[in-house]
């Protein structure tokens, strides 16, 4: 029997059963290559997320998006449907080869708001596109984690973007700054439910 996917507000759900695994967005620069240490951080992050029962969503192209997708694909716990890429164009062209489900949205830059509405958003570096996704995630009240590296993730790590109350049960709400994937997993375990 062919596996089906049902559209849901938090992503795509395989088969007939409700898949309650959190959908984690990984965002960052699309022009980082394999030789850049930041690519390695995103690769390790993607693998760690799938290893620990999460699903991944990205913008679907290269750089950080490819690194996280590639890492997720190399997890022993990876299964079809774990890695989703939402492209801004109407074409699948240019999608990285490590994505399980490619969604050519035709939304252009607005697709950043779709990605930012995941259960949690993790930024690794990044420029203006990453900044917009971080701002959307903040406004949507999502758990927002940022690597302390060059780019907007490093600029906003450990800070509040503004003074709005996003999670009433969280003291010291902020963009949670991290240096490695084990810190990300700890923050997800301790705070994901507070933001959803």
Report the mean per-residue pLDDT for the chain. 91
pLDDT at site 45: 98
Report the DSSP beta bridge partners of residue 20.
Answer: none
pLDDT at site 196: 78
pLDDT at site 19: 72
* Statement: 20-164+171-195 belongs to CATH 3.40.50.450: yes
pLDDT at site 20: 85
- pLDDT at 72 > cutoff 90: yes
Question: Domain coordinates of the chain in residue numbers?
Answer: 20-164+171-195
pLDDT at site 13: 42
Task: Give the Cα separation of 177 and 161 in Å (integer).
Answer: 13
Task: Give the Cα separation of 177 and 196 in Å (integer).
Answer: 19
From 83, 94, 168, select the one nearest 118 (Cα to Cα): 83
Secondary structure letter of residue 143 according to DSSP: E
């Amino acid at each position: 029997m062919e596996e089906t996917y049902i559209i849901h507000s938090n992503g795509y759900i395989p088969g007939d059963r409700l898949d309650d695994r959190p959908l984690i967005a990984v965002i960052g620069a699309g022009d980082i290559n394999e030789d850049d240490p930041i690519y390695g951080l995103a690769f390790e992050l993607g693998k760690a997320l799938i290893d620990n029962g999460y699903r991944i969503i990205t913008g679907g192209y290269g750089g950080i998006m490819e690194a996280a997708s590639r890492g997720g694909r190399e997890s022993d716990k990876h299964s079809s449907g774990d890695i989703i890429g939402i492209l801004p164009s109407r074409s699948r062209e240019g999608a990285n080869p490590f994505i399980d489900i490619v969604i050519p949205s035709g939304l252009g830059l607005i697709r950043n708001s779709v990605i930012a509405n995941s259960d949690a958003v993790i930024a690794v570096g990044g420029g203006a596109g990453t900044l917009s996704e971080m701002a959307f995630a903040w406004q949507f009240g999502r758990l927002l984690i940022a690597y302390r590296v060059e780019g907007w993730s490093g600029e906003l790590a450990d800070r509040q973007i503004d003074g709005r109350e996003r999670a009433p049960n969280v003291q010291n709400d902020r963009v949670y700054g991290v240096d490695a994937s084990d810190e990300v997993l700890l923050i997800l375990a301790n705070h994901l439910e507070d933001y959803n």
